[in-house]
Structure 1
Amino acid sequence: MNKYVKYFGIALLVIAIDQIVKMLVHFQMDFGTPGQIPVFGDWFKLHYTTNPGMAFGMELGSEYGKMILTSFRLVAMVAIGYYLYYIIEKKNHPVYIVCIAMILGGAIGNLVDSVFYGVWLNNAPYNAPTPWFHGQVVDMFYFDIWEGYIPEWIPLWGGSYTALWPIFNIADASIFIGVAIILIYQNRFFPDKKEESPSEEPESLS
């Protein structure tokens, strides 16, 4: 039982830190540029903004796009949670299990925003048909590498004024770190099975 508490506890810790930071940002900072707080010069700031869509602000362009996105996040959360249980049972590499726990915590952290913040924080569109699933994700960590207008010919982001580096939150960082560690150390987490030596040729019948 302790093995489940340890790894699922990591996910719960990520969720708790993520939500505490988001609540502090929402209630203690002004929205947008007026409330921006420099941390390290001009290149790292705290900047309260919301993201109605996926990573980098991309959205599903339909009336029910937000509902579809939130539903997908809910399904992904269940799938990752079951997978975490499965790899704990199989006694996979402990660092790999920690990474999956971090990814689960990050996924749930952003799911909480999508499901509840439209009502709790009133940050969903006013015409949302089902506001319980139309909340926007709160972001705050901003690395100001470059800002400017992106030409219209560039796919997805073209025709908009944006920043080179996206604004993100604790949940995003947890997911990113978990995925990055898995990619870097995948050979340790998934060692290739040694090729079995070729079987000996059958003895001649003659």
Structure 2
Amino acid sequence: MSLKKSILFIILILLVDQVSKIYIKTHFILGEDVTVFNWFKIYFIENDGMAWGTKISDFVSFISDRTAKIALTVFRIVAIFGIGYWLYDATRKQNSQILIWAVALIFAGALGNIIDSVFYGVLFDDSFGQVASFMPASGGYDGLLHGKVVDMLYFPLWKGYLPEWLPFYGGTYFTFFDPVFNIADMAISTGFGLLIVFNKRAFAD
């Protein structure tokens, strides 16, 4: 895949990701959900940190949440330049198609979530108890670099109590699959999945 086709592919993923996020943000109240199937819901939450809602401040106690948020966003921005160069280099050297597809997916997903982190705090007002407005006259819910990532895809495939004989978790209520995610997260996960499953083909000389 050429660099031009890679860019078009990235733009397509970004459009789907951002359109879905903007729709959810401007039509759902935070915490609202719609059941599509028993095993699939549209469930609006916002993620202020890393994967699974983890924050840097959860591990480094002397850093405030706001400082940690800026550090995470800046790290993501720096990382996206590295991933972008990786994609450019892979297409220039005509590396394997699997590698190029994978890096393009990771780049698109990372950029999709960066847009939320950098701009959404300025572009939207709060979603607590109300449907957010785009570009509100009163201003956004936070400043630049303090936006929250919009998540909405929820697949609770199974819910129930685990067997008592299981060590540590026996008898506890369990949901599979519990995380809520978005299109950008799917792109990143798919990209890394391709690199893991097809590792030898992806990095073949």
Q: Tell me the TM-score normalized by structure 2.
A: 0.77
Q: 1:89 to 1:11 in 2, by over 3 A?
A: same
Look up the match of 1:53: 49
CA contact (8 A) 1:52 1:137 kept: yes
- Structure 2 unaligned runs (5+)? 58-62, 128-141, 162-167, 169-174
CA contact (8 A) 1:10 1:98 kept: no
Q: Which residue, 174, 182, 188 being the options, matches 1:175?
A: 188
What's the CA shift for 1:165? 2.0
Distance between the aligned counterparts of 2:160 and 2:68, measured in 1?
28
Q: RMSD in angstroms over aligned alpha carbons?
A: 2.4
CA contact (8 A) 2:122 2:144 kept: yes
- 1:138 maps to amino acid: V
Deviation digits for residues 11-43 of structure 1, max 9, x if unmatched? 1111111000001111122220xx2111111x2
Distance between the aligned counterparts of 1:85 and 1:113, measured in 2?
24
CA contact (8 A) 2:105 2:187 kept: yes
Higher relative contact order (CA 8 A, sep 6+): 2
Deviation digits for residues 56-86 of structure 1, max 9, x if unmatched? 0101112200000000100011110011000
Match status 1:100 vs 2:99: no
Match status 1:39 vs 2:36: yes
Distance between the aligned counterparts of 2:195 and 2:28, measured in 1?
35
State the structure with more CA Rg: 1
- 1:134 maps to amino acid: H
Q: 1:79 to 1:121 in 2, by over 3 A?
A: same
Distance between the aligned counterparts of 1:92 and 1:53, measured in 2?
33
Q: 1:123 to 1:67 in 2, by over 3 A?
A: farther
Q: Tell me the TM-score normalized by structure 1.
A: 0.77
CA contact (8 A) 1:117 1:123 kept: no
Identity of paired residues, percent? 37
- 2:115 maps to amino acid: V
Match status 1:112 vs 2:115: yes
Match status 1:190 vs 2:198: no
- Structure 1 unaligned runs (5+)? 125-129, 149-153, 155-161, 194-206
What's the CA shift for 1:163? 8.0
Q: Secondary structure at the match of 1:77?
A: helix
* Number of residue pairs aligned between Structure 1 and Structure 2: 172
Q: After TM superposition, where is structure 1 displaced by more than 6 Å over at least 4 residues in a row?
A: none
